[in-house]
């Protein structure tokens, strides 16, 4: 199951490339201190990291509008570090993430606010290779119903063909009546092994 590939097993090359930038969410775990041991509380660890972060933090004096006027919609996958992979800095963009990077109604809600209230104009969609959603089917909803006695209202949005799924996502953005800007919408597949983006032809 792709969902359960531990992020600390990432290749050495990737680890060393992240060591210089200690403020990103993908700061490399090196050696045993990266693993969660019995008795550790992960949230406490995050809070300790935050105190170190805040010590070095200086108010950048920005307003909330993204500098590059772009919103990136991507899968929540732990191997995809959007800021590192796209050369983004603090304040550059909106990032909207969920399982699969699927354009759901709630993603349209965020994009609508992003464009109409916070000035973004471009949309970048990023799916990736080896996505956990490829191993699920809509049967997951039935399994949940069997277990808890209630069928979820949401679709699983599983897929078999990642390119086709990116095309569908682009189409959902382009045809949304709520968005102001649908002329610059591009979709990509991120390769979790090479770190490269491949653009998907919308046709």
Residues contributing to the site for Zn ion (CB under 5 A): 75, 77, 131
Q: Which is nearer to Zn ion, 66 or 100 (CB)?
A: 100
Q: Which is nearer to Zn ion, 73 or 131 (CB)?
A: 131
Q: Which is nearer to Zn ion, 77 or 157 (CB)?
A: 77
For residue 172, give the H/E element and its range. Answer: helix 162-174
Q: Which is nearer to Zn ion, 102 or 185 (CB)?
A: 102
Q: Which is nearer to Zn ion, 99 or 113 (CB)?
A: 99
Find, among 76, 78, 75, the residue nearest to 29 by Cα: 78
For residue 187, give the H/E element and its range. Answer: strand 185-190
- For the bound state, the minimum distance from the C-beta of residue 172 to Zn ion, rounded and expressed in Å, comes to 17
Question: DSSP letter string over 123-141?
Answer: EEEEEETT-GGGG--THHH
- For the bound state, the minimum distance from the C-beta of residue 127 to Zn ion, rounded and expressed in Å, comes to 7
Q: What CA–CA distance (Å, rounded) separates 128 from 163?
A: 10
Q: What CA–CA distance (Å, rounded) separates 33 from 88?
A: 27
- For the bound state, the minimum distance from the C-beta of residue 1 to Zn ion, rounded and expressed in Å, comes to 11
- For the bound state, the minimum distance from the C-beta of residue 163 to Zn ion, rounded and expressed in Å, comes to 14
The angle formed by the CA atoms of residues 39, 43 and 44, to the nearest 5 degrees, is 70
- For the bound state, the minimum distance from the C-beta of residue 139 to Zn ion, rounded and expressed in Å, comes to 19
């Amino acid at each position: 199951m792709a969902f359960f590939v531990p992020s600390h097993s990432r290749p050495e090359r990737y680890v060393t490339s992240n060591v210089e930038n200690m403020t990103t969410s993908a700061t490399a775990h090196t050696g045993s201190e990266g693993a969660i041991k019995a008795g550790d509380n992960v949230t406490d660890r995050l809070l300790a990291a935050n105190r170190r972060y805040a010590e070095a933090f200086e108010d950048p004096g920005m307003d909330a509008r993204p500098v590059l006027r772009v919103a990136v919609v991507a899968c929540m996958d732990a191997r995809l570090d959007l800021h590192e992979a796209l050369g983004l800095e603090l304040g550059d963009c909106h990032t909207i993430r969920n399982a699969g990077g699927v354009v759901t109604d709630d993603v349209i809600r965020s994009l609508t606010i992003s464009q109409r209230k916070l000035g973004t104009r471009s949309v970048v969609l990023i799916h990736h290779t080896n996505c956990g959603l490829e191993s699920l089917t809509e049967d997951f909803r039935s399994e949940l119903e069997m277990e808890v006695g209630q069928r979820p209202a949401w679709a699983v949005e599983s897929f078999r063909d990642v390119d086709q799924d990116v095309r569908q996502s682009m189409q959902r953005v382009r045809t949304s009546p709520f968005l102001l800007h649908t002329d610059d919408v591009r979709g990509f597949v991120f390769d979790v092994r090479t770190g490269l983006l491949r653009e998907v032809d919308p046709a």
